[in-house]
Amino acid sequence: EIVLTQSPATLSLSPGERATLSCRASQSVRSSLAWYQHKPGQAPRLLIYEASNRAAGIPARFSGSGSGPDFTLTISSLEPEDFAVYYCQHRTNWPPMYTFGQGTKLEI
């Protein structure tokens, strides 16, 4: 079973700063990794799929990179609305299942 470990657990930054969030898989997952943003009271929102592809409507300040076991979500210049919890996610072919990281809380 693949385990996704996100770091840091909490990231404290200010608007305008650059945020770098990490996700490490317990074994290689090729480029099969997605990132989500989750705000209280809202549904999670897909940001990045296949490690580096921005989902529809996602601002260009969000970017994803990495492959194999190590992935990064970068927010180039934080906007007030970016403060939320971020999750990485992978789907394994066998056993067929989806795994989430434990989340990184991005706080002001």
In this complex, which beta carbon is closest to another protein, that of residue 18 or of residue 30?
A: 30
> Counting contacts by CB under 8 A, is residue 24 touching another protein?
no
Task: Give the chain's length.
Answer: 108
Q: Which of 43, 57, 60, 80: binder of another protein (CB under 8 A)?
A: 43
48 membership: H or E segment, kind and range: strand 45-49
Q: Which of 17, 50, 70, 79: binder of another protein (CB under 8 A)?
A: 50
Count of residues that bind another protein according to CB under 8 A: 26
Q: Which amino acid is at 86?
A: Y
Least distance from C-beta 7 to another protein, angstroms?
A: 14
> Counting contacts by CB under 8 A, is residue 101 touching another protein?
yes
Alpha-carbon distance of 70 to 83, in angstroms, equals 23
> Counting contacts by CB under 8 A, is residue 45 touching another protein?
yes
Nearest to 60 by CA among 79, 42, 41, 43: 79
The two three-digit tokens of residue 57, written as one number? 């409507």
In this complex, which beta carbon is closest to another protein, that of residue 19 or of residue 34?
A: 34
Look at the block and give the residue holding tokens 């940001």: 47
* Contact set for another protein, span 80-99 (CB under 8 A): 85, 87, 89-91, 95-99
CA distances from 93 to 29, 32, 63 (A): 10, 11, 25
